[in-house]
Amino acid sequence: MIGMMYLVLTAMLALNVSTDILKAFKLVDDSLHTTLETTDNRNTLLMHQFRLDSIDNPEKNGPWCAKAMELTQRSDSLFNYIQNFKYQIAVATDGAKNADPEARVIQGNDNRDAPTHFALPDGPNKPALELKSFIDEYREYLISLDTTRRAEFTSMFDTSDKAQEDGDVISWELQMFHDMPAGAAVTLMTKLQNDIRNAQNIMIQHLRRQTDAGDLRVNKLNAYVIPNSRNVIRGGKYTAQIILAAIDSTQTPEYYVEGQRINDDGIYEVAASTLGTRKFKGWISYLNPTSNEMEQLPFESEYSVMEPSVTVSNVDLNILYRGYDNKFSVSVPGIAPDKLRVTVSGANARQQGGFWIIKPNAGVNSVSINVSAEIDGKVQSMGSKEYRVKPLPTPRAFLKFGDAEYDGNAGVPRNAIVSPQAQIIASYGPDGLLNLPFRVISFSANINGVFTESQGNKFSRDQLNRIEKLKKGQSITITNIRAESPSGERLPVTALPLTLN
């Protein structure tokens, strides 16, 4: 439906540019953004599952996941390029100060000159031609991944010249930007972004299907021993199921261990009385439907009997931090998680999503974690571990704009600072060991030698006015940052130097 509206409105532009038509383009643009958000979410979920599959089976899924990651990178690159293209049209239309950073609201949406002057300026360097070459490159890349979709992608990313009814041939760039109202030009760009995300979605699914394209189907019979666990606590029992894969469900095999037949379910159970590795072997007798004779498939396996032990690993750190939800995984070899009992002294502890969240009490310098397990109806102690408690380290300051976080190591675009969405945040950075949502209460800004205060995490109007006057290469230093952790603890934050690029 959105595509049909886009085609009708584009045709109507050639006849008349009324306020109603431009309003309709805005409706189409809003609908496209809604679709974009949905498609983005689908793509994110698909790639997340693809990466998990690649981790589970890197040999089979890894190469295809790598192709999908390259596809995502190329799609993001072209998508972001077009987003900046839209913003430049907004700047050319409304001016740098009034331009919407997201190019969603174009005040001069009926302006026909701005898109033409920006995209098709006099001289050889035309942004529209560069955009066209990037689209052509992306289209050919998609086709290289799946040649059967050549016609589909050629139509989706068609940049060819078009013959008019009067016989004249109009280039793609003229069709898109020459004498085109700014609101309509931005909508055309949004449609291109929507096509990119749709093509990305199609190809991610195609690449995932390729992981199974070369699988072989076999009919070989094999015997398997499937133990509940190869590690057994002394005093417990070793339990294993012996099965024949691909057996005819109408037949009942016979199971033998060390020459003795066991029950027809193939469950082998023996008391684990002594420490060490225990090996056993046997065979499965089954009726061969071809020869109608009993045949045997041998098997062998082993299990280990060990003393009670516990494995406690801190997922985030090797110490505990005061005022922080420290995340732990607790496991005992051979024991199901629901059979474990965990007690903690010197801290509050709770289970969350398969982990233990441990938060030290105020004033303690160490925490003891004690683990026991229920084995055959009895609770046995598995051991304990003691951890030192340390105060939280000093967080760092960042300028956050959208998904970007600037730490002062590189130049910052002016619009990233003066945007209403810009904010000062405190954290341990993307590579930090801790993930703690600090709240910035206030900060100072040294702007060209003038110190000003700001309450909250955003620049004040006075600060923004001063920043607007700065030139490229001039700096702003954010100091005296006051930040508060979720527990109410206030910590000093390192200063943040920002340089306009």
Question: Which own/partner contact pairs does 220-227 have at CB distance under 8 Å and 24+ positions apart?
Answer: 220/246, 221/245, 221/246, 221/247, 221/286, 221/297, 222/297, 223/283, 223/284, 223/297, 223/298, 223/299, 224/299, 225/268, 225/299, 225/300, 225/301, 227/301, 227/303
Confidence (pLDDT) at 17: 53
Helix, strand, or coil (residue 315): coil
Superfamily of domain 223-306, CATH level 4: Immunoglobulins (2.60.40.10)
CA–CA separation, 372 vs 353, rounded Å?
20
Candidate from 71-80, 180-189, 326-335, 355-364 with smallest mean pLDDT: 326-335
Dihedral of alpha carbons 17, 22, 23, 24, sign: positive
pLDDT in tens, 274-288: 777 788 999 998 777
pLDDT band at 208 (very low <50, low <70, confident <90, very high): very high
pLDDT in tens, 27-59: 888 889 999 999 999 999 999 999 999 999 999
User: C-alpha distances in angstroms, 189 versus 11, 152, 198, 300?
Assistant: 16, 19, 14, 65
pLDDT in tens, 77-104: 999 999 999 999 999 999 999 999 999 9
pLDDT band at 8 (very low <50, low <70, confident <90, very high): very low
Confidence (pLDDT) at 354: 81
Same fold, 223-306 and 311-390: yes
CA–CA separation, 351 vs 275, rounded Å?
33
Domain borders along the chain are 2-210, 223-306, 311-390, 396-499
Specify burial of residue 495 (Cβ count, 10 A radius: 0-12, 13-18, 19+).
middle
CA–CA separation, 206 vs 129, rounded Å?
31
Confidence (pLDDT) at 232: 66
**423 or 8, greater pLDDT:** 423
CA–CA separation, 251 vs 244, rounded Å?
11
- Verdict on whether the full-model pTM lies above 0.75: no
- Yes or no: domain 311-390 corresponds to CATH 2.60.40.10: yes
Confidence (pLDDT) at 9: 47
Sequence-ordered list of residues with C-beta below 8 angstroms from that of 448, at least 6 positions apart, any chain: 466, 469, 470, 474
SS (H, E, C) 428-491: CCCCCCCCCCCEEEEEEEEECCEEEEEECCCCCHHHHHHHHCCCCCCEEEEEEEEEECCCCCEE
* 41's tokens: 């979410």
CA–CA separation, 425 vs 404, rounded Å?
12
Helix, strand, or coil (residue 139): helix
Residue 377 has pLDDT above 80, yes or no: no
Mean pLDDT of 225-252: 67
CB 443 within 8 A of CB 478: yes
Confidence (pLDDT) at 94: 95
